[in-house]
Structure 1
Amino acid sequence: MKNIIETHDLTKTYGDFTAVYRLNLHIRRGTVYGFLGPNGAGKSTTMKMFLGLTRPTVGDFTIDGKKYPGDRMEILRRTGSLIEEPAFYGNLSGRENLDIIRRILGLKSSAVDDALELTGLSQFGDRPAKKYSLGMKQRLGLAGALIGRPPLLILDEPTNGLDPVGIHEIRSLIRSLPEKLGCTVLVSSHLLPEIELMADDVGILNRGRLLFEGSMENLRETAAMKGLPSDNLEETFLALVDEDNRKRRPM
């Protein structure tokens, strides 16, 4: 199966408010997919639907050939996630925190060492999590998502609050994962220059609707055909969102 995630008219409403409207995503297996949009565009809501944290109002989706809601538990077993700021037991070591996740998932004890090594935390595994730097905490969150080497990672703002060095480290790690593990990464971020450096494909949401989906090259070509800026992702993104907002304004 070429796509690891496909959605079919996926919609989520809260009363009179539509957070996501008839969303049709096609996320290719073995890629880094940048999921972009202004605040409130529906990115986090979509990710939470994938993780079973909120139910779609209309539509459905498949992940790794498994269809929601019938295969919900199997989807969760195939998906690692880091949503918002990672939470840990500060008095426990990084290794002990990961071992809790390992036990819940029923994985072998070697999975903890594997996750620590993948995220460059092996030498800090026995340090209490409360003594980790912010960048190390983000790495520990990624280690928790990576434990057991799931075929899909869903990451929401994984570089939030990091300094430039930490951002570079996390970006390099994410970029390496498809080749190193054969997994797919769905990553949402407001740091568009970072997405431009790490993503193979992008999906751009605005007010719950998909404005564009495709490769970075396709995005540049599409923007140029419309007469929009195409030199960098940030300018193209802002122009597409502005164009969509202008179309929606009442005359």
Structure 2
Amino acid sequence: MLTTNMISTVGLTKKYNNFVSVNGINIHIRRGTIYGFLGPNGAGKSTTMKMLLGMAKPTSGKFHVNGKVMPEDRIEILKNIGSFIESPAYYPNLTGRENLEIIRKILNLKKEDVDDALELVGLSEFGDRLVRKYSLGMKQRLGLAGALIGRPPILILDEPTNGLDPAGIHEIRNLIKELPKMYNCTIMISSHMLSEIELMADDIGILNHGTLLFEGSMDDLRAEAKVQGYNDNNLEDMFLSMIEADNKQRKQRAVI
């Protein structure tokens, strides 16, 4: 039976000795939507994504992906996720196509899936060029192609437009925005480019110091901003106001 949420977490926590990186968060990513996962550097975004990908073990809490439970259904879960985390590494002396061929063989996908992924990210004419000759933006596109190969139902993307020029950002943003319509995938995306997230995301999650401050639609966020007296002109203003208010409260509690 399909659930409304493709990904949901319950009390998800990650500690490193006495440091709490992720503090008991409950997130809900609706099936077929784009979820913008936001927070300052060090907020715990990448750690959360790594836990969802089985790259980091939660200290406590649990999560479900497409009705499956981690870690019991780890292999089944990971088969259905394409990811782009922290500028993926590729073999520089192989071509873009050859790098994707390695991923294809590991995942036991069809040969035509490589061409499909290259076309999706606009690298078809550069697929046979050595990766060491790629620009930073082209490497970002190749990383996204690696996540998209085989068109997985879930995509977890961390800063996918980093290094792209304005035209490239526009192109990748439009691609990401269209993906759920193209093949009904669900996307979790983290980015510091809040104006881009505002144009893409159906729902927003805001993390600060490992704590989830807000989760909901842009309309929900605007309503919350008005209640709190924040500037609600755009996502960046609302985000900064929410983070600033939380940091101020934390300092006040520390003094007490």
Instruction: Select 1:227's aligned residue among 226, 229, 234.
Output: 229
Q: In the TM superposition, what whole-angstrom CA distance separates every residue of 1:39-92 from its partner, at most 9, and x where no partner exists?
A: 111100000001111100000001111100101111110100000112211221
- Taking structure 1 as the reference length, the TM-score comes to 0.97
Q: Does 1:208 align with 2:210?
A: yes
- Report the residue type matching 1:3 in the other structure: N
Structure 1 residue 173: deviation in Å?
1.4
Structure 1 residue 15: deviation in Å?
0.7
Instruction: Select 2:153's aligned residue among 147, 151, 159.
Output: 151
**Structure 2 match to 1:73:** 75
**Aligned-partner Cα distance in 1 for 2:188–2:136:** 22
Instruction: Select 1:44's aligned residue among 43, 46, 51.
Output: 46
**Which aligned pairs between 1:85-164 and structure 2 lie closer than 5 A?**
85-164=87-166
Structure 1 residue 174: deviation in Å?
1.0
**Aligned-partner Cα distance in 2 for 1:32–1:130:** 32
Q: In the TM superposition, what whole-angstrom CA distance separates every residue of 1:161-217 from its partner, at most 9, and x where no partner exists?
A: 222222222211111111112111111011111111111111000110100000111
**Structure 2 match to 1:9:** 11
**Structure 1 match to 2:249:** 247
- Report the residue type matching 1:157 in the other structure: E
**Aligned-partner Cα distance in 2 for 1:36–1:211:** 10
Q: Does 1:173 align with 2:178?
A: no
Segments ≥4 residues shifted beyond 6 Å: none
Instruction: Select 1:186's aligned residue among 177, 185, 188.
Output: 188
**Structure 2 match to 1:22:** 24
- Report the residue type matching 1:137 in the other structure: K
- Report the residue type matching 1:78 in the other structure: N
**Aligned-partner Cα distance in 1 for 2:19–2:144:** 33
Structure 1 residue 132: deviation in Å?
2.0
Quick one: percent identity of the two aligned structures? Answer: 65
Q: How many residues are treated as equivalent by the alignment?
A: 251
**Aligned-partner Cα distance in 1 for 2:127–2:17:** 46
Task: Give the CA RMSD over aligned residues.
Answer: 1.1
**Aligned-partner Cα distance in 2 for 1:240–1:88:** 38
- Report the residue type matching 2:234 in the other structure: N
**Aligned-partner Cα distance in 1 for 2:111–2:22:** 40
Unaligned runs of 5+ in 2: none
Structure 1 residue 34: deviation in Å?
0.5
**Aligned-partner Cα distance in 1 for 2:90–2:22:** 31
The question of whether the paired residues in 1 share the 8 Å contact of 2:34 and 2:200 is answered with yes
The question of whether the paired residues in 1 share the 8 Å contact of 2:137 and 2:162 is answered with no
**Aligned-partner Cα distance in 2 for 1:239–1:190:** 15
- Report the residue type matching 1:73 in the other structure: I
The farther-off stretch of 63-72 and 107-116 is 107-116
The question of whether the paired residues in 1 share the 8 Å contact of 2:206 and 2:239 is answered with yes
Unaligned runs of 5+ in 1: none
